[in-house]
Amino acid sequence: MSKTKRVINVLEAILMIQMALILMLVPEEAFKLIAILVGLILTVYGLKYIIYYLTHAQHMTGGKRLLLVGLILFDAGTFAMVIYDRAKVLMVGYIVAVHLVASVLNFARAYSNKGDGNPAWKIDLAQGIGNFIQVVLCLVFINHVEIPVYIYCLGVIYSAVLKIIASFRRTAIVYVQ
Amino acid sequence: MQADFHYYAAYCAAIISGYSHEDALVLCYSDQFVDCCTKTFLKMAGATVHAATSQTQAELLDMNTDLTGLQDITRIWASFHFLPKDLYAKTPRATKAYRNKYRLICGPNGALVKDTVELAKNKGLQHAGIAMHVLSDTWAHQRFAGTPSLVINNADNCFVEILPDGSERKISFIHAPGAADDISDGKFNSTVFNTSETSILNLGHGHAGHLPDYSFIRYRYMPAWDGYRECLKDNPSDYYYAFCQMVCAMKYLLGKAEAFELDTYDEETVSPYKDRIMEILTKRQEDASEDWKKFGQKLSGEDIPDFDALKYAGEYKDASKDAKNGTFLGRFILAAMSQKSMVTNKIFTSGNMLAGFSVDYGKKGFGGIRDYLRLVTEDREIGT
C-alpha cells in the first residue's frame, strides 16, 4: 500500500468514527438518516448489478443469478427508503435480517474453513457470534430505536478501527537471500 | 505450466532442436525466470519494475484495481502468461467493454504467437526463453484471460476429471489459500467466487485452480464465456503439441527453418522421443521435474543444475551502470520490456484500452514510461 493510500485510509477512518459518535448522540434523527443511507446504498448496489448484467454478465454462464441479486437489492433498497419514517419496527426487523444472514454466512464459512484446515475459521466464528449477538439485542429491544442505531454505529467504528490497523500494517515482502 | 515444463522440458526441446547444452541452459532458465521476475525481485536487484513479467500474490493483493492498476496487471499477464488469441474476435450483441475482455482470451496459434517468436529472432537466448514461455502458456492457459474479469475467467463449479481408464470423477474445489492439492482424491485449491468484475480473484485461471498447470490431467468444464458449452481440456495432448511447437520455434530462432508458421508442429523430429515424453506427461504427479531432468540429461549427456531464481541477481547488482544491460539479467530485462511493449501495442492498436496506451516510437517519437528509453537506445546493441 502506498503512503498516500495509507494517509487517505486513516483520514477516512477518523471521519467514520466522528460520524458514528455524532449519530449516537442523536439516535432518533440518526435512525432516519441511517435508514435512508442503507436504503440508498442497497439501491445503488442493485442498480450496479443490473447494469453489470446488461453490459457483461448476460453473456456469462450463470449470469442470471447476478441479475436476480441486483433486482432483490434494488427492491429492498427502494422499500427501505419508502418506509424509513413510518415503520420503525419493520426497519429494526430489516437490520435484524441483515445481521442474521451475515451471521449464518459467517458460521457457514467458519465450518467450511475448519474442515479445510484454514485457521481463519476462528475469526469467522467470532464474527458470526458478534452478528448473532446484535440480532438478539435488536429483538430484545425491538421497541427502542436507539439500540439498532448504537449497533450500527459500533459496527462503523469497528470497521474504522480495522481500517486504521490495516493502514499501519507492513505489506512489503521480506526477501530472504 | 510449472518449472517442470518451463525449465526442464524447455531444455529438452532446446537440445532436440539443436542448441548446445550451454545455450539450452540459458534458454530454459530464461523461460522459467518469467515466473520469478516480479516487481519485488526487480526492486531487490535494483532494476526497473517496468520489466516485471509476473506478480506475487502479495503484490496482487496490494494493488489498486483502478484503471491504471488494471492496465498494469493486464500488461504483465496478457504479455507473458495469457497471450490473447484473437484481438479482433467478433462478439455479436455485446457491449464494447465485454468485447474488449473477450478479445483477451488466451489460446494457441493466435497471430500474437507468431509475432512473439519473430520478435525473439536474432535477439539473444534470453528473448528466446521468454518467447518459449509465452508460447507454451498459450496451450496451458487457453480459454482464460490475463486481465481480471469475472465474466471471462469464472467457470461453472462442475469440473469432471477423465481418468486414464476412461471413468469420470467429479473434481471438488476448496478455497484455502496456500493449501496443497490432493491429486489422488481429486481435491484442488482454487480462488473463491467474487462478484466484483475486476477483483484480482478473477484474474487468469484462479477459478480452475492449478488444473491447467498439471500435465497429466484431462477434464471437462464450462467456461463462463462460451454460451453454456462444455469443453474438454486434454493437458497431455496440449502439452505435447506445445513441446512440438517449441521445437519448430527454436529451429526458426536457430536459423534452421526459414519461417515460423502457426498450426505447425515438428512431430517428425520429436517422434523418436514421443513415448518417453507422453509417459512423463501422463504420469499422475504434481511435479514432473525429476522425470524431465533425467530425460534431458540423457539427451545431452550433461548435468542440468536445479533452477535458482537468484543466480544472476548478484551479477546485475554488482555491475556498473554502463555494464548492466550486458549482464544476464540486463538482457532478460530488455527482452521482457520488448515483449511487453509489443503486446501492449498490438492490444492498443486493436482499439482495446485494457492494457493502456502505447506510443509508437517510429511514428511519434519517444513518449510514456522513461525506462523504455533504454529499449530504444540499446536493444539493437545487445543482439546475440
Spell out the residues 6+ positions from residue A176 whose beta carbon is closer than 8 angstroms to its own: none
- In this prediction, does ipTM exceed 0.85? no
CA distance A175 to chain B (A): 8
Q: Average the pLDDT over A111-117 and give the result.
A: 71
Contact check, Cβ <8 Å, B197/A56: yes
pLDDT computed for residue B382 by the predictor: 46
Domain that holds residue A47: 3-168
What percentage of residues in chain A have a pLDDT greater than 70? Answer: 86
3-class state of residue B365 by DSSP: coil
Q: In chain B, which residue ranges form alpha helices assigned H by DSSP? A: 3, 10-17, 21-33, 39-45, 57-62, 67-80, 96-102, 111-120, 125-140, 150-153, 235-254, 267-270, 274-282, 289-300, 313-318, 328-349, 361-364, 373-382
Q: Provide the CB-side half-sphere exposure for B7 (13 A, CA).
A: 22
**Residue A40, in any domain of the structure:** yes
Closest listed residue to residue B148, CA positions, set B92, B187, B205, B214? B205
* Number of domains into which chain A is organized: 1
Chain A contact for B89, CB < 8 A?
no
User: Is B151 an 8 Å CB contact of chain A?
Assistant: yes
Helix axes B125-140, B10-17, angle to 10 degrees: 120
- The confidence score (pLDDT) of residue B308 equals 94
Which pLDDT belongs to residue A1? Answer: 55
Neighbours of B227 (CB within 10 A): 9
pLDDT given at position B35 = 95
**pLDDT score, position A170:** 59
| Residues forming a β-bridge with B186 | none
Phi-psi region of B263 (alpha: psi -120 to 50; beta: other; left: phi over 0): left
Lowest mean pLDDT among A9-18, A85-94, B15-24, B118-127: A85-94
Cell numbers that stand for B146 in this block:
490475463
Q: Which tens digit of pLDDT belongs to each residue from A126-162?
A: 888 888 888 888 888 877 777 778 887 887 888 888 8
Predicted confidence at residue B319, as pLDDT, reads: 93
- Give A-chain residues touching B225 at CB under 8 angstroms: 59-61
Q: What integer is the mean pLDDT of A15-30?
A: 87
Average pLDDT of chain A is: 81
Pairwise CB contact (< 8 Å): A1 & B62: yes
The C-alpha cell that represents B284 in the structure block: 499422475
| B156 contacts A56? CB cut-off 8 A | no
Task: Give me B103's grid cell.
Answer: 478479445
pLDDT at B373: 73
| Contact assignment for A61 to B156 by CB distance below 8 Å | yes
CB B5 within 8 A of CB B14: no
| Structural domain includes residue A177 | no
Question: Cβ A59–B64 below 8 Å, yes or no?
Answer: no
Would you call B69 exposed, middle or buried from its count of C-beta atoms within 10 A (0-12, 13-18, 19+)? middle
- The secondary structure of residue B231, as a DSSP letter, is E
Nearest residue to B381 via CA among B330, B339, B321: B330
In a domain, A173, yes or no: no
Residues 6+ positions from B81 with CB-CB distance below 8 Å: B34, B54, B106, B134, B137, B141, B146, B204
pLDDT of residue B117: 97
Give me Rg for the CA atoms of chain B: 20
If residue B221 lies in a helix (H) or strand (E), which one and from where to where? strand B218-221
Contact: A59, B225; criterion CB under 8 Å = yes
Which residues of chain B neighbour A63 with C-beta distances below 8 Å? 151
Q: Is B195 part of the contact surface with chain A (CB cutoff 8 Å)? A: yes
Residue A143: how many CB atoms within 10 A of its CB? 9
Select from A61, A113, A171 the Cβ nearest to the Cβ of B224: A61
Grid look-up 532494476 returns B47
List strands edge to edge, sheet with B159-162.
B187-189, B168-174, B159-162, B218-221, B231-234
- Residue B169 backbone dihedrals phi, psi, to 5 degrees: -145, 135
Nearest CA in chain B to A65: B195
Q: What are the residue ranges in chain B where pLDDT is below 70?
A: 62, 364-368, 375-384
Of residues A14 and B192, the one with the higher pLDDT is A14
Contact B175 A59 (CB under 8 A): no
Please give, rounded to a whole number of angstroms, the shortest distance from the CA of B364 to a CA of chain A. Answer: 33
Q: Which residue of A has its CA nearest to B310?
A: A177
Q: Considering only CB atoms, which residues of chain A are within 8 Å of chain B?
A: 1, 5, 49, 52, 55-57, 59-63, 66, 69, 113, 116-118, 171, 173, 175, 177
Rounded to a whole number, what is the distance in Å from the CA of B29 to chain A's nearest CA? 19
State residue A173's pLDDT score.
27
For residue A174, pLDDT over 50 is answered with: no
Answer whether A66 sits within 8 Å of B179, measured CB to CB. Answer: no
How confident is the prediction for chain B on average, in pLDDT? Answer: 90
- Between CA A72 and CA B361 the distance in angstroms is 51
Q: Between A88 and B42, whose confidence is greater?
A: B42
**Domain presence at residue A8:** yes
First to last CA, chain A: 24
The whole-angstrom separation of Cα A121 and Cα A105 is: 12
Contact B12, B246 (CB under 8 A): no
